[in-house]
Amino acid sequence: MLGLMQDRPLLISQLIEHAALNHADTEIVSRSVEGPIHRYTYKDCAARCRKLANALTKLGTQQGDVIGTLAWNGYRHLELYFGVAAMGAVCHTVNPRLFPEQIIYIINHAEDKFFFTDLTFVPLLEAVADKLSTVKQFIIMTDRAHMPETKLANVLCYEELLDAENDSYQWPLFDENTASSLCYTSGTTGNPKGVLFSHRSTMLHSYCVCMPDALGLSAMDTMLPVVPMFHANAWGIPYAAAMCGTKLVMPGARMDGEAIYELMETEKVNLSAGVPTVWMMLLSYVKENKKKFTYMRYTIIGGSAAARSMIETFKYDYNVEVLHAWGMTETSPLGTSCRPKKKHENLSDEEKVTLSLKQGRAVFGVEMKIVDGNGKDLPWDGKQFGNLLVRGPWIASGYFKGAGGQAVDEDNWFDTGDVSTIDPDGYMQITDRSKDVIKSGGEWISSIDVENEAIGCPGVAEAAVIAVPHPKWDERPLVLAVKEAGSNVTKEQVIEHLSKTLAKWQLPDDVVFVDELPHTATGKLLKNKLRDAYKDYKLPT
């Protein structure tokens, strides 16, 4: 017997129209690429999304067309997020930090029909435009006064396009499984692969993001997403914010510590989200300038593991709690969130920090398991680690146009490429990327564990740990570390610091100081580049 509930499709148009009606005067504040702070409301945003849909219709956009963007976190990008998807087209966010060849590949592979760009990325597009085979028109996201001289052909001005339209538009109803946005993962090898989200997956993911034990957004919050809208849909925050009427503060092109801090204070931001590298910049700014946070309550860290020293600095020095979360582009991205349970209420502060080092419990909707090399399930004992597999309604079933072949097994389990433990309470802890674990004499050493401890050593700003071939043990760990400005920290001091928490066989064989470490376009350590550079490195032992 079927239930008698309405079969209304879950569509992104409902998000922005809901916000326009129920949170009409809630603000969206952006640091514009042109410079000044821009502010308007969800009601204004929805009206401009409708204008955008009218403009795109006139330009000839059909349902299913892919519309590219190269843009920072800002109000115009938000209009594209909602407007493009709501009309039935696909919003394809391109990561400007990729190499030009990858950008060309991605835009051609996705077959972007129209392309929207912030002023910042006009030169980047000029350099590759003649290799883009599908783009009919470029739209520069600014007003007439700021339109640059450009070599790009077929250029339109965003504000002129919107000014010419009225703000009534009837959003179409269609199947909730229709594609809504597209985001390419920046793997360390091979071409990037496209993850194609649907209206249904985005909406279900948004409900989840708002839950108190997930990211816990609400109409009482002011959220500053530092995580870019060109990386994994800014962790779904723009959609979730519209769902529950959260005030949004968008940092635009200025991601430096000073600019982020200033916005946090002037806009009374109480929660934020980003990868550890941006928090390193923010923390060093507030430390150097002896600042305090007036409103910040908690910050979400994901994308890479949050180190103990960072969690402790936020907590003890600045009274800001860290919420550690894990996910990947293929998981929309939220997979786990590290919220405590009632039973953890009376833990000591130190024990609470230890708990928050874990990546967290699966949010409802995400099933998770760990398996050994033969695919056999491993127990949730917090000790045994294996390949982490996930499945659920916002986990990818395959890559765009079948790239990379089969992405899930016959039971829909997706192999994340991460290695982790899961404890009896369901808390998952990443030990490594499967290709980054260091295999030393039959034992596995977690490069992430060693990195996190190394970063806690006074004088060390950043550290990467890689495997170096070893005649006896197969592989041994090597630490590559960047010193803090003015620090004279030595190799012996780093090893001495590590020996407080690591077993002898886990200690690195050597520490090499470098000026900087290479990162991927999404801020993760580029370990394969380091492995290549140090593959012939002679360890002292």
* Residue in 199, 219, 238, 213 with CA at minimum distance from that of residue 364: 213
* Residue in 120, 48, 111 with CA at minimum distance from that of residue 84: 48
Pick 97 or 491: Cβ nearer ligand AMP? 97
CA–CA distances in Å: residue 304 to residues 58, 81, 269, 325, 513: 43, 25, 23, 9, 22
Selected binder of ligand AMP within 121, 326, 414, 473 (CB under 6 A): 326
What's the closest the beta carbon of residue 360 comes to ligand AMP, in angstroms?
8
Pick 221 or 418: Cβ nearer ligand AMP? 418
Specify the long-range contacts of residues 236-239, CB closer than 8 Å, at least 24 apart. Answer: 236/202, 236/205, 236/206, 236/209, 236/332, 236/333, 236/334, 237/209, 237/273, 238/78, 238/81, 239/12, 239/15, 239/81, 239/202, 239/203, 239/205, 239/206, 239/209
* Residue in 167, 217, 210, 183 with CA at minimum distance from that of residue 399: 183
Could you say whether residue 466 binds ligand AMP (CB under 6 A)? no
Selected binder of ligand AMP within 30, 222, 416, 447 (CB under 6 A): 416
Could you say whether residue 464 binds ligand AMP (CB under 6 A)? no
Could you say whether residue 276 binds ligand AMP (CB under 6 A)? no
Chain-centroid distance of CA 122 in Å reads 24
What's the closest the beta carbon of residue 94 comes to ligand AMP, in angstroms?
14
Fill in the DSSP letter of residue 313. I
Selected binder of ligand AMP within 52, 300, 366, 430 (CB under 6 A): 430
Per-residue contact flags (x/-) with ligand AMP for residues 133 to 172, judged by CB under 6 A = ----------------------------------------
Q: Which one of the listed residues 111, 369, 444, 475 is annotated catalytic? A: 444
Q: Which one of the listed residues 26, 185, 202, 329 is annotated catalytic? A: 185
Pick 228 or 327: Cβ nearer ligand AMP? 327
What's the closest the beta carbon of residue 302 comes to ligand AMP, in angstroms?
4
Could you say whether residue 233 binds ligand AMP (CB under 6 A)? no
Pick 96 or 333: Cβ nearer ligand AMP? 333
Q: Does 171 participate in catalysis according to the annotation? A: no
Could you say whether residue 303 binds ligand AMP (CB under 6 A)? yes
Rounded CA separation 349/312 (Å): 10
CA–CA distances in Å: residue 455 to residues 169, 300, 458: 53, 19, 8
What's the closest the beta carbon of residue 183 comes to ligand AMP, in angstroms?
9
* Residue in 394, 322, 408 with CA at minimum distance from that of residue 364: 394
Could you say whether residue 236 binds ligand AMP (CB under 6 A)? no
Pick 33 or 328: Cβ nearer ligand AMP? 328
Fill in the DSSP letter of residue 537. -
* Residue in 452, 331, 426 with CA at minimum distance from that of residue 369: 426
Tokens at residue 34, please? 């042109």
Chain-centroid distance of CA 441 in Å reads 35
Pick 81 or 414: Cβ nearer ligand AMP? 414
What's the closest the beta carbon of residue 450 comes to ligand AMP, in angstroms?
14
Q: Does 185 participate in catalysis according to the annotation? A: yes
Could you say whether residue 238 binds ligand AMP (CB under 6 A)? no
Note the helical H segments in 111-163.
122-128, 158-163
Could you say whether residue 181 binds ligand AMP (CB under 6 A)? no
Could you give the angle at the alpha carbon of 451 between the alpha carbons of 445 and 456, nearest 5°?
130
Could you say whether residue 508 binds ligand AMP (CB under 6 A)? no
Q: Which one of the listed residues 439, 496, 505, 535 is annotated catalytic? A: 439
Per-residue contact flags (x/-) with ligand AMP for residues 89 to 108, judged by CB under 6 A = --------------------
Pick 382 or 469: Cβ nearer ligand AMP? 382
Selected binder of ligand AMP within 71, 106, 241, 305 (CB under 6 A): 305
Selected binder of ligand AMP within 74, 274, 302, 456 (CB under 6 A): 302
The footprint of ligand AMP on this chain (CB under 6 A) covers a number of residues equal to 19
What's the closest the beta carbon of residue 522 comes to ligand AMP, in angstroms?
4
Selected binder of ligand AMP within 18, 297, 369, 433 (CB under 6 A): 433
Rounded CA separation 73/226 (Å): 8
Cβ neighbours of 396 (radius 10 Å):
22
Q: Which one of the listed residues 17, 165, 330, 453 is annotated catalytic? A: 330
Could you say whether residue 368 binds ligand AMP (CB under 6 A)? no
Rounded CA separation 467/286 (Å): 35
* Residue in 91, 49, 88 with CA at minimum distance from that of residue 66: 91
Could you say whether residue 324 binds ligand AMP (CB under 6 A)? yes
Could you say whether residue 228 binds ligand AMP (CB under 6 A)? no
Cβ neighbours of 268 (radius 10 Å):
13
Residue position matching structure tokens 């990443």: 430
Residue nearest to ligand AMP (CB): 328
DSSP-based three-state secondary structure for 377:
strand
List, in sequence order, every beta strand (DSSP E) within 411-451.
Answer: 414-422, 427-433, 438-440, 443-445
Pick 16 or 448: Cβ nearer ligand AMP? 448
Could you say whether residue 522 binds ligand AMP (CB under 6 A)? yes
What's the closest the beta carbon of residue 464 comes to ligand AMP, in angstroms?
14
Selected binder of ligand AMP within 224, 328, 457, 467 (CB under 6 A): 328
Could you say whether residue 185 binds ligand AMP (CB under 6 A)? yes
Count how many residues are written for the chain.
Answer: 541
Binding site for ligand AMP (CB under 6 A): 185, 232, 302-305, 324, 326-329, 333, 359, 416-418, 430, 433, 522
Active site residues: 185, 330, 439, 444
